[in-house]
Amino acid sequence: MSETSDRLELYADYVCPFCYLGNQSLAQYRETREEPLEVDWQPFDLRSGKRNPDGSIDHDVDDGKDDQYFEQAKQNVRRLQTEYDVEMAQEIAIEVDSLPAQQASWYVKQEYPDQWAAFDDAIYAALWQDGRDIGDTDVLADVADAVGLPVDEIRSAIDDDGVRTELEDRFTMSQRQGITGVPTFVYEGQAARGAVPPAQLERLLE
């Protein structure tokens, strides 16, 4: 990346359908843009309030999201699919745990930054295009292999408590910076929240 390229911070969680749709909107915006744009992914854990100490999810914890909430979310996903001309294998993925995918992605971002964007896209595609469980290490190993990353290293990163601790620190930092939901796009102190259309991203950046 040249030093003159703009840098957009993107707070996202793979298990969030609006993050996938927001990424599609961002891709559409980038196609119309002449200048390079660096996207700096910042991890965020939508399930942080439901995690056990070992990192597993306690689905019995009441987070205030009832059937009506999820039905509304599905309607919004369907509306945005039409708006952005995006096909998806599912509208929500309540049972999927994104923490293993975020660990793998965070490791790749540090160790193989040039391959991170392809890996990021491939994780989203595995879940939202192919309906695969990105909480499964074998699935993530397949995804890594498909984009040319060393599978053994990715498997190790998913099991690495040090990577998980680093990631949890980033989650905490995101919350301290006022990020309450995802996707959130931040550029020079200004933020756009949600799967906003390409025109809104253009206004944010230009």
Per-residue confidence (pLDDT) for residue 157, from 0 to 100: 97
Can you tell me the distance from the alpha carbon of 142 to that of 127, in angstroms, rounded to the nearest whole number?
13
HEC readout, 66-125: CHHHHHHHHHHHHHHHHHHCCCCCCCCCCCCCCHHHHHHHHHHHHHCHHHHHHHHHHHHH
Q: Is residue 1 part of a domain?
A: no
Per-residue pLDDT of the chain (206 residues; tens, 9 = 90+): 445 679 999 999 999 999 999 999 999 999 999 998 999 999 999 888 888 888 888 888 877 778 888 899 999 999 999 999 999 999 999 889 999 999 999 999 999 999 999 999 999 999 999 999 999 999 999 999 999 999 999 999 999 999 999 999 999 999 999 999 999 999 999 999 999 999 999 999 98
Cβ atoms of 150 and 144 within 8 Å: the answer is yes
Domain that holds residue 138: 6-205
Predicted pLDDT at 4 = 62
What's the structural domain count of the chain? 1
Whichever domain contains 103, its CATH number is: 3.40.30.10
pLDDT for residue 1: 42
Does residue 28 lie within any of the structural domains?
yes
Do the beta carbons of residue 63 and residue 117 sit within 8 Å?
no
Cβ–Cβ < 8 Å for 12, 44: yes
Can you list the positions of beta strands (E) in the chain? Answer: 6-12, 37-43, 184-187, 190-193
| Residue 150 included in any domain | yes
CB 84 within 8 A of CB 21: yes
